[in-house]
Amino acid sequence: MILDLLSTNSGSHLLRREGELRIIGSCLAVEWPEAVKEYCRGLCLSTCPERDHINVIALKVASILARVDVRRISVLTVDGSPHCLQLHHSVEEAVRISGRELEVEHAVLQKGRVIQVSGRAVKFARYLSRVENLLRGCGESDSDR
């Protein structure tokens, strides 16, 4: 079952049953339905940072964490989307706000394949100077991009 994140009650009994929060970018259900079907075993919440501001998304996730005993959060988005990248950042911020220690799993869909991404990669994506240093270190030039 896929529900809209912002329209779902933060203390919903549906969330309480899961113990895990799975969040996907809204476009995935249309663009990659088979991958979403496999990923969303049980309940998934969807949202789109292109439509909804990341502060609203982060506050909603933090509100859920304040009301529901979530042990793990999984996020799946499209790889390469500047908007979807913000969903990963929103979840990291919500966890930080909540002060809770829980497992956060990040993944992206690239050509229909789910690729796991570390929290460290998500954090690095916020710091363009660090990304630039990494690119320089591996000898990538502007023509390689």
3-state secondary structure of 42: coil
| Model pLDDT for residues 31-78, shown as the tens digit of each residue | 888 888 888 888 899 999 999 999 999 999 999 999 999 999 999 999
Beta bridge partners of 109: 78, 114
Structure tokens at 96: 């930080």
Q: Is the model's pLDDT at 144 over the cut of 60?
A: no
Confidence of residue 136 (pLDDT cuts 50, 70, 90): confident
Domains of the chain (ranges, CATH numbers): 2-140 (3.40.1360)
Q: Is the model's pLDDT at 24 over the cut of 60?
A: yes
Those residues whose C-beta lies under 8 Å from the C-beta of residue 145, and which sit 6 or more positions away, are: none
Considering the entire predicted model, what is its pTM? 0.85
Q: Is the model's pLDDT at 141 over the cut of 60?
A: no
Alpha-carbon separation of residue 120 from 9, 32, 49, 69, 135 (angstroms) = 30, 26, 21, 25, 16
The pLDDT of residue 140 is 60
